[in-house]
């Protein structure tokens, strides 16, 4: 695939950030993260306007949304704060001498990786670099692919998707209204960062640095609705009568991944990222900026389990997690919280093999419409972390893409189990 870099700019907010909002405190959870989170949107050709007009409008709407989400145009001041100094975000435009359909037919990781700015996807961040990097890829057929990499300290997947959705809404308004009437002023992000989980007197916990390991393979597996229906029937029990599609896919992957690794349930943990927004007391807005997440870890007490038993164990572990963590994180007992987090981080550093999951399902990723139609496919690139899985919705809202990262020899065995499932 031939990619030509056309130009690079720095896009700055359309309105200055007030002096009282210039310093944005990060939360004790934000401070742990140190990588870039990538997301990629594909749009079919649209004859309503040419690509140059679209790019010009994207730059203007991005400038407006950066006035609202002003922290993304800033820079890290230190480990615990962002200086909202309007330095802007990186904006790169490329031309590709291929059709969009060429990639969609065979979405290989090597091709997808080339659609992100400067190879930043999942890389550990440069503290002095822009917090957001965007690449607009223009295909010869008229289609486009918009990629974004966001510094994980700014927020989680929910934060990133909300930013993209807001950018798309403003871009559509530019088509419908006079730009001078589109007044977007900065506002205090009360529900964000340190205002929810303040650092206060807590120690600054070590950053979660993930070393890229050799002999790793990353592949995406498509679970069509018919397969998910079959797994739901297989996994249902008197304890969990109607397991969700996300739950059964997590359970199936966990079960067969550890089998492929030659280990068992008793010696390998099941870990999943949990969004705390709706689980806090009282619940937080889904638009909260920041890392409103924590990792739930579950160990089974048996070496072998059927799929329905794995589903029950995962659901039980999530219930136990929700009984403890929202209350702990929402309280003001910082001594207890400090002791707890130290134990958790020390445990993670000593943990043995396990499988980690992050589900981006049920987010409104297919609602990100810039004015030329909803995306035909939304994905991320392969996360290089060992034994890690990301789940994403397919466009139909029923199927699921699983992006799985395992050691090469384990991946071969896992693929064999997937083929058996499809037969």
Structure tokens at 105: 């037919």
208 within some domain: no
What is the spatial distance between Cα 387 and Cα 10, in angstroms, rounded to a whole number? 36
pTM over 0.95: no
CATH number at residue 179: 3.30.559.10
Whether residues 255 and 400 share a domain: the answer is yes
Whether residues 223 and 190 share a domain: the answer is no
Lowest mean pLDDT among 143-152, 167-176, 269-278, 385-394: 167-176
Residue that wins the pLDDT comparison between 48 and 166: 166
pLDDT value for 350: 47
Whether residues 236 and 340 share a domain: the answer is yes
Measured CA distances, 305 to 265, 282, 319, 331 (Å): 8, 36, 20, 37
**Residue closest to 149 by CA, chosen among 129, 132, 164, 163:** 132
- pLDDT mean over 83-94: 97
- Would the pLDDT of 347 be above 60? no
What is the spatial distance between Cα 314 and Cα 80, in angstroms, rounded to a whole number? 34
Whether residues 183 and 225 share a domain: the answer is no
Region label for 397, one of left (φ > 0), alpha (ψ between -120 and 50) or beta (otherwise):
left
What band does 349 get if pLDDT is binned at 50, 70 and 90? very low
- pLDDT mean over 22-40: 93
Q: Is 355 helix (H, G, I), strand (E, B) or coil?
A: strand
- Would the pLDDT of 182 be above 80? no
Whether residues 259 and 183 share a domain: the answer is no
Cis peptide before 82 (omega within 30 of 0): no
Total count of domains within the chain: 2
Contact assessment for residue 18 and residue 67, using Cβ atoms and an 8 Å cutoff: no
- Would the pLDDT of 352 be above 60? no
Whether residues 227 and 313 share a domain: the answer is yes
205 within some domain: no
pLDDT value for 14: 92
Whether residues 222 and 190 share a domain: the answer is no
- pLDDT mean over 70-86: 95
pLDDT value for 121: 94
201 within some domain: no
Residue that wins the pLDDT comparison between 201 and 317: 317
Beta pairing partners, 415: none
Q: Which domain holds residue 364?
A: 216-422
209 within some domain: no
What band does 116 get if pLDDT is binned at 50, 70 and 90? very high
216: phi then psi, degrees, rounded to nearest 5: -105, 145
Whether residues 230 and 167 share a domain: the answer is no
What band does 179 get if pLDDT is binned at 50, 70 and 90? low
pLDDT value for 41: 98
pLDDT value for 19: 92
């Amino acid at each position: 695939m031939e990619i030509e870099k056309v130009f690079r700019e720095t896009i700055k907010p359309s309105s200055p950030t007030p002096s009282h909002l210039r310093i944005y405190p990060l939360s004790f959870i934000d401070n742990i993260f140190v990588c870039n989170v990538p997301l990629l949107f594909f749009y079919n050709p649209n004859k309503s306007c040419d690509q140059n007009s679209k790019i010009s409008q994207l730059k203007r709407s991005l400038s407006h949304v950066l006035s609202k989400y002003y922290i993304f145009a800033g820079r890290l001041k230190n480990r615990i704060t962002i200086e909202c100094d309007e330095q802007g975000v990186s904006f790169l435009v490329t031309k590709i001498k291929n059709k969009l359909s060429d990639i969609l037919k065979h979405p290989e990781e090597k091709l997808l990786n080339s659609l992100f700015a400067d190879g930043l996807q999942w890389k550990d961040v440069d503290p002095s670099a822009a917090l957001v990097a965007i690449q607009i890829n223009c295909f010869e057929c008229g289609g486009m692919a918009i990629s974004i990499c966001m510094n994980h300290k700014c927020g989680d997947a929910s934060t990133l998707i909300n930013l993209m959705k807001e950018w798309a809404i403003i871009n559509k308004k530019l088509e419908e209204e006079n730009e001078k009437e589109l007044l977007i002023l900065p506002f205090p992000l009360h529900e964000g960062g340190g205002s929810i989980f303040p650092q206060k007197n807590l120690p600054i916990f070590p950053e979660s640095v993930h070393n890229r390991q050799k002999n790793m393979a990353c592949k995406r597996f498509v679970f069509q609705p018919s397969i998910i229906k079959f797994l739901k029937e297989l996994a249902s029990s008197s304890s969990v009568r109607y397991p969700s599609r996300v739950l059964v896919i997590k359970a199936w992957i966990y079960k067969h991944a550890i089998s492929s690794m030659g280990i068992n349930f008793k010696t390998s943990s099941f870990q999943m990222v949990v969004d705390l927004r709706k689980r806090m007391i009282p619940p937080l807005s889904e638009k909260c900026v920041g890392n409103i997440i924590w990792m739930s870890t579950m160990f089974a007490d048996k070496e072998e389990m059927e799929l329905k038993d794995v589903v029950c164990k995962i659901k039980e572990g999530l219930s136990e997690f929700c009984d403890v963590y929202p209350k702990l994180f929402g309280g003001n007992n910082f001594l207890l919280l400090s002791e707890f987090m130290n134990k958790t981080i020390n445990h993670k550093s000593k943990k043995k093999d396990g499988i980690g999951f992050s589900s981006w399902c049920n987010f409104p990723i297919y609602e990100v419409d810039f004015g030329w139609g909803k995306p035909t496919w939304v994905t991320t690139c392969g996360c290089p972390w060992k034994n890690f899985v990301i789940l994403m919705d397919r466009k139909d809202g029923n199927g699921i893409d699983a992006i799985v990262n395992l050691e090469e020899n384990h991946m071969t065995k896992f693929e064999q189990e997937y083929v058996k499932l499809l037969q």
